[in-house]
Chain A
Amino acid sequence: KELGCRTTHCNLEVVHRSTLVFLATKPHILPGVLEEIRPAVGPHHIVVSLVAGITIQTLQRLLPPWTKVLRIMPNLPCVVQAGAMVFSRGSNAGDEEAALLKSLLSSCGLCEEVPESYIDIHTGLSGSGVAYVYLFAEALAEGAVKMGMPGALASRIAAQTLLGAAKMLLETGEHPAKLRGDVCTPGGTTIYALHQLEKGALRATVMDAVEAATNRACDMAKD
């Protein structure tokens, strides 16, 4: 309402008044909603599901057979237009629909078309990945607090460090290993710190995390 959008309690009204319909319910609610709106869905509609774990196959099964369906997985920073989204198209969605979705969503961040099998991986990497970054930021700040810096300042600097590093990665297109090497002066502070991170097998732990979230996404989709 604050953004100036109209709201309603009626799902059918949304379908009647829209060409592009986003499905943004919780997974267990969706089958009921699809049954409800199915009669109102026409060949002009483009149905885009944001619902975790519901496959294109399931969506197409619960909607009229000629429906243009696409599935998208966003992540939280879409709210600040720095999101990472991947989408896949169903059997009836063509280049026009894909291009429309991509151009619309690029306003929220990075938006790429992928095979559907990548969507669970995206969950593990970037959907949940945001939380890993928050954890890392918290830990960085705590390290600084331990060494004597006030918490609020440490948190701000931690966040800016992550933002800056990410920006350099995206803008230079350089391999992260190379950028890491560029920061490491021989015998300097950075290499000492990196050694600690390697001792803690940080890399393997992060790989484990992505793997765990991806597997969980796959398992949940089967339920």
Chain B
Amino acid sequence: MSVGFIGAGQLAFALARGFTAAGVLAAHKIMASSPDTDLPTVSGLRKIGVNFTVSNKDTVKSSDVLFLAVKPPIIPFILEEVGPDIEARHIVVSCAAGVTISSIEKKLSTFCPTPKVIRCMTNTPVIVREGATVYATGTHADVEDGKLLEQLMASVGFCTEVEEDLIDAVTGLSGSGPAYAFTALDALADGGVKMGLPRRLAVRLGAQALLGAAKMLLESEQHPGQLKDNVCSPGGATIHALHFLESGGFRSLLINAVEASCIRTRELQHLADQEKISPAAIKKTLLDKVKLESPSLSVASASKVSLFTNKSKKN
């Protein structure tokens, strides 16, 4: 089985890294493509032995399972570009937040009558094989196709099938979740440093505390509230600290965060359905066309208006 990634950014790198570390896939069976060869993840992918190309078409042709690992506004462009090369054998897996199965099927059906589409929401810890992934199967994807994807994603963490309408909520919770955790860990480390710990040790201990707590919860039958109680001796240090968290509305902040991420995902979906593309995305696509036509031209960053500046440095 060969796997392809359209897009060679954080997600593609994380998944490729995870699959190869898990041993479910050899690096040379993976291909990734991107017009932007300067991304740090591109060299990362090359280092682990993944085939890299600037041609999305090549990736499609050489893959059985094709991951669309680009930003949501780019998806329609990608589908237009590679649509003609999609065959009934392909399993197209979209990891783009807010992009519906039906929107992908609609675009692909102009080229292929029964495209197999699976929509997936994962997260970056797949890179260390502790990802959280959900997927929903499209109209023409069989049970076996879903199971194949599940096998792949289960090698890099937890994976389960869900109804498509839950995916936005999953995005808010576990898609964005690692960012909430990183923020918490940064702050916990600050607390440690304030109270006298060296930074490196503070980071290490904070991360281990969260890791351990998460592991306890996953392996326990008990409610997190009960596990919390177990740590709080009467009148002790922990309950004093928790009072501070409650006073700051800690819980509601986390609820707000999950809600905000989920709502934003739905907004993105809405924008995508209306095929409203951001100016930056449009410029980038034009940029790609320019690069394909004149590879020797030095390129300006997407934020500059003129595409033909002399030897300008990339931002």
A: residues with CB less than 8 A from B are 175-178, 181, 195, 198-201, 203-204, 207-208, 211
Assess A177 versus B252: contact at CB under 8 Å? Given A201-B246, A204-B246. Answer: no
Are A181 and B223 in touch, CB under 8 angstroms?
A: yes
Q: Is B236 positioned at the interface, with any CB of A under 8 Å from its CB?
A: no
| Interface CB pairs A-B, < 8 A, 6 | A175-B223, A176-B225, A198-B251, A204-B243, A207-B246, A208-B247
**B249 and A198: CB pair below 8 A?**
yes
The count of A-to-B residue pairs whose CB atoms sit within 8 angstroms is 43
- Rounded to whole angstroms, the CA-CA distance of A213 and B195 in the bound complex is 31
Q: Mark B148-178, 1 if CB is under 8 A from A, else 0.
A: 0000000000000000000000000000000
Instruction: Looking at the assembled complex, report how far the CB atom of A184 sits from the nearest CB atom of chain B, in whole angstroms.
Output: 12
Taking CB atoms and an 8 Å cut-off, the chain B residues in 195-237 that contact chain A are 222-226, 229
Q: Complex: how many Å from CA A177 to CA B225?
A: 6
Hey, which bits of chain B sit against chain A, CB under 8 A? 222-226, 229, 243, 246-249, 251-252, 255-256, 259
Is B248 within 8 A of A201, CB to CB?
Answer: yes
Tell me what chain B mostly uses at the interface: helix, strand, loop, or mixed: helix
B233 nearest CB across to chain A (Å): 14
Give the distance to chain B from A56, nearest Cβ to Cβ, in Å: 20
Q: How far is the CB of B247 from chain A (nearest CB, A)?
A: 4
Once bound together, how far apart are the Cα atoms of A172 and B193, in whole Å?
44
- Assuming the contacts A195-B255, A198-B255, asked whether A177 and B249 have C-beta atoms less than 8 A apart, the reply is no
- Quick check: B226 and A199 within 8 Å, CB to CB? no
A175/B249 in contact, CB under 8 A: no
B225 touches A203 (CB 8 A): no
Ranked 3 nearest A-B pairs via Cβ: A177-B225, A204-B246, A198-B252
CB distance B223 to A199 under 8 Å?
Answer: no
A156 and B247 CA atoms in complex are apart in Å by 31
Which A residues lie within 8 Å of B225 (CB)? 175-178
Closest A residue to B244 by CB, please name it.
A204
Which of B222, B251, B256 gathers most chain A CB within 10 Å? Answer: B251
**B255 nearest CB neighbor, chain A only:** A195
**Are A203 and B246 within 8 A (Cβ)?**
yes
Q: Among the listed B224, B229, B246, B249, which residue makes an inter-chain contact with A199, where contact means beta carbons less than 8 Å apart? A: B249
Q: Which residue of A lies closest to B225 (CB)?
A: A177
The residue that B224 contacts in the complex, of A176, A177, A198, A201, with Cβ under 8 A, is A177
Return B246 CB to nearest CB of chain A, in Å. 4
Q: How far is the CA of A198 from the CA of B248 in the complex (A)?
A: 10
From B235, which residue of chain A is reached at the shortest CB distance? Answer: A121
Q: How far is the CA of A84 from the CA of B224 in the complex (A)?
A: 28
Instruction: Decide: A175 and B247 in contact? CB cutoff 8 A.
Output: no
Contacts of B252 in A (CB 8 A): 195, 198-201
What are the residues of chain A within 8 A of B249 when measuring CB–CB?
A: 198-199, 201, 204
Closest residue to A211 on the B side, CB-wise? B243
- What is the minimal beta-carbon distance from A179 to any residue of chain B, in angstroms? 9
Extra contacts, 5 of them, besides A176-B225, A181-B223 (Cβ < 8 A), are A175-B226, A198-B249, A198-B251, A201-B248, A204-B243
